[in-house]
A and B are shown apart, each in its own frame.
Chain A
Amino acid sequence: MKGPRTLYQKHIDAHTVCTLDDHGHVLLYIDRQVANEYTSPQAFSGLREANRTVWRPSSTLGVVDHVNPTTPDRVATMPDAGGALQVSYFEQNCRDFAIELFDVLDKRQGIEHVVAPEQGFILPGMVVAAGDSHTTTYGALGAFGFGIGTSEIEHLLATQTLVYKRLKTLRVNVHGKMGAGVTSKDIIMALIRDIGASGATGYAIEFSGPTIESLSVEARMTICNMAVEAGARGAFMAPDEKVYAYLKDKPRAPKGAQWEQAVEKWKALYSDPGAHFDKEVELDASALEPMVTWGTSPDQAAPIGECVPDPRLESDLIRRQDLQRALRYMGLEPGTRLAGVPISHAFIGSCTNARIEDLRDVARIVRGRKVAASVRAMIVPGSTLVREQAQAEGLAQIFKDAGFEWRQSGCSMCLAMNDDVLSPGDRCASSTNRNFEGRQGAGARTHLMSPAMVAAAAICGHLTDVRQLSMET
């Protein structure tokens, strides 16, 4: 008889084709993958060279998102020859291997981790792997998702499986009511600061507890999305009524009797009472404040009320040098108050925070206000459908009136693979997921924060506690 199992164990058990050794390796069946134009080309070339086919084309969805321009008027032409070649090769691969593709002009195009959930392509109980580290997002839907490299994409395309080693499990239990101005972004940023950028390396994280249950599905996606910034190789949450309501009537969700049958089955997707986790962490959301990063790793973050830390207080030499290097890159002096650091750019976008609820948050802050004259502010919606909805709800007009650029969808300035690139010395308040050196452009400086906090920074021209701005109205 099986003892109590974690949801992670249930996901893996239900997808194990066979055991490969007695060291935890299994052949894992993968239900879905999403492919993009930049990490897939060499995988398709590998298939071609070895004369292999795609095992199950309908399990893969192709989306162009990383290299396309996001100019306010949609253009199908890529800004550079490399991007153009990647997109045309991707189109050819999807055509030749019978994979459905959302190209740049498709109404359903957008960032893969926004598009796949909104199409109902990802369902509870699925195991999903894709050539993008933020595939962890799908944990919010009761699925289990993780990122893979190009060789693994090729393996997955050819076999619908991966050689997989079971991870350890970490449960993060979040309790307490979040204060005004605090969002799910602040929960995950605080967790990463607490456990470190490698605090969950080797683990899959389950997020649970009353605070998680109180969050919307989109807010949960933000948390699972950034689990990888703590090193987690996958995140998961138990699906609930909110997830079923989110998925119902999505284009690819099951319909009719099959929907009822699916929901019945999904109700068993939770960690059994007494299931063993290798590590547990408790987080009190009522104690959180809006967070911002000050360094070049996502764990170098602090509440907006705090100051830039002093590396001299770090006793470990290597860690001290890392801090010094981060502050030198960021152009920040120890002891500087974070609130008040001037910015040149504000970016709202990415698979972390560019869904409709994020845009509504931004609209609440910027309505009737103006972006500071010193700031270039951009909003890149997570998908073309999100863009349409924001226009229908009148949000787009609020953004434009406030002085934001209202752009087309794509990964854009999150990783700056297209022509949305910052210049050396630019300082950007960003709703994205990584503040690495050079991430948004060589020499450019990124401060991560929630969309509402980016909005506040854009209005004030400097990092700002969004709660002060809200109170002024």
Chain B
Amino acid sequence: MQPFTIVRGTAAPLPAANVDTDVIMPKQFLKGIDRNGLDRGVFFDLRFLVDGAPNPAFILNQAPWDHASFLITGPNFGCGSSREHAVWGLKQLGIRALIGTSFAGIFYDNCQRNGVLLIQVKESEQQEISHLVGSPENSQITIDLHAQQIHLQTGKMIGFEIDPLRKKALLEGLDAIGTTLEHTSRIRDFETQHHRSNPWLA
């Protein structure tokens, strides 16, 4: 997993509420057995017109946000289906972090497992960032995960909270399975005991 330390890039505001994973990655892109080619599917019905041409009205088709590294999102972003394809696609499109007021649970975990940083901020902060990055000259921001800070073009800094466990995994790009398998003997012991006291689960 690619570590996330200090990343500077363009941020695109997407303030709608309840953006679900069906909208982020429609069904026709879910038919693979690998992770390839999902950048095309991201927000497909919003990004592309019926004839397949880019929809000029959609922000991710407009400069400078067509090279966005960050999305500033509305409440409950990523709700609905568990499809991790949504996160794989966002990542392939170049999205490294999302800043919003709230995220759906499964989507949150999926981002974490792919090295995409989710930052939860207050509604007033979300609105401030969203408004600011909506003008091209202020669209660049810097996210410093180590210091837990967002730096805006105006010089303003906004701090954020993150679990130490998640932070460490993102900073170091850890392989979660490898880390868990360090507990192999504890899992074995637990399992033996668990099945002894609940034999119908064995």
**What residues of chain A have their CB less than 8 Å away from a CB belonging to chain B?**
14-15, 17-18, 20-21, 23, 25, 27, 29, 31, 38-39, 41-42, 45, 50, 52, 55-56, 67, 80, 82-83, 85-86, 89, 123, 125-126, 131-133, 147-152, 154-155, 158-161, 163, 165, 197-198, 201-202, 231, 233, 253-254, 258-259, 261-262, 265, 297, 299, 318-319, 321-322, 325, 415-417, 434, 436-439, 442
B18 and A155 form a contact (CB under 8 A)? no
B106 to chain A, nearest CB (A): 5
Residues in chain A near residue B74, CB distance under 8 A = 318
A66 to chain B, nearest CB (A): 8
Given known A-B contacts A149-B110, A434-B22, A158 and B164 have beta carbons under 8 A apart: no
B28 to chain A, nearest CB (A): 9
Pick the interface stretch among B61-69, B146-154, B176-184.
B176-184
B200 and A254 form a contact (CB under 8 A)? yes
Residues in chain B near residue A297, CB distance under 8 A = 17-18, 20
Q: Taking the complex as formed, is B102 at the interface, i.e. its CB lies under 8 A from any CB of chain A? A: yes
A23 and B165 form a contact (CB under 8 A)? yes
Closest to A82 in B: B31
Closest to A165 in B: B163
| Residue tally, chain B, CB below 8 Å to A | 52
Closest to A132 in B: B82
Closest to B81 in A: A133
Closest to A321 in B: B16
B105 and A202 form a contact (CB under 8 A)? yes
A125 and B198 form a contact (CB under 8 A)? yes
A161 and B187 form a contact (CB under 8 A)? yes
A116 to chain B, nearest CB (A): 14
Given known A-B contacts A148-B109, A231-B105, A198 and B186 have beta carbons under 8 A apart: no
CA distance A18 to B113 in the complex (A): 20
CA distance A259 to B87 in the complex (A): 43
Residues in chain A near residue B82, CB distance under 8 A = 39, 131-133, 147-149
**What residues of chain B have their CB less than 8 Å away from a CB belonging to chain A?**
15-18, 20, 22-23, 26-27, 30-35, 45, 74-76, 79-84, 87, 102-106, 109-110, 113-114, 163-165, 176-177, 180-181, 183, 186-187, 190-191, 194, 198-201
A262 and B200 form a contact (CB under 8 A)? yes
A151 and B16 form a contact (CB under 8 A)? no
Chain B CB within 10 Å, residue with most, of A42, A123, A259 = A42
CA distance A41 to B85 in the complex (A): 12
B187 and A133 form a contact (CB under 8 A)? no
CA distance A322 to B104 in the complex (A): 18
A163 and B180 form a contact (CB under 8 A)? yes
Residues in chain B near residue A15, CB distance under 8 A = 194
Residues in chain B near residue A133, CB distance under 8 A = 80-82, 106
CA distance A317 to B74 in the complex (A): 12
B43 to chain A, nearest CB (A): 11
B18 and A198 form a contact (CB under 8 A)? yes
Closest to B17 in A: A322
CA distance A270 to B50 in the complex (A): 53
| A–B Cβ pairs within 8 angstroms, 23 of them | A17-B190, A21-B164, A25-B165, A29-B194, A31-B201, A39-B83, A42-B35, A85-B31, A149-B110, A151-B176, A198-B102, A201-B103, A201-B104, A201-B105, A233-B106, A254-B200, A262-B198, A297-B18, A297-B20, A415-B27, A416-B27, A434-B22, A434-B80
Residues in chain A near residue B79, CB distance under 8 A = 197-198, 231
Residues in chain A near residue B45, CB distance under 8 A = 437-438, 442
CA distance A21 to B191 in the complex (A): 21
CA distance A439 to B18 in the complex (A): 14
Chain A CB within 10 Å, residue with most, of B45, B81, B105 = B105
B201 and A151 form a contact (CB under 8 A)? no
Contact for B176 among A155, A233, A254, CB less than 8 A: A155
Residues in chain A near residue B183, CB distance under 8 A = 17-18, 27, 161
Closest to A199 in B: B76
A158 and B26 form a contact (CB under 8 A)? no
A160 and B191 form a contact (CB under 8 A)? yes
Chain A CB within 10 Å, residue with most, of B15, B20, B45, B164 = B20
CA distance A402 to B92 in the complex (A): 49
Given known A-B contacts A18-B186, A39-B84, A201 and B102 have beta carbons under 8 A apart: yes
Given A27-B180, A198-B79, 19 more A-B residue pairs with CB atoms under 8 Å apart are A21-B163, A39-B82, A42-B33, A50-B177, A83-B31, A85-B32, A123-B200, A132-B82, A149-B110, A152-B113, A155-B176, A231-B76, A231-B104, A261-B199, A318-B74, A434-B81, A436-B22, A438-B22, A438-B26
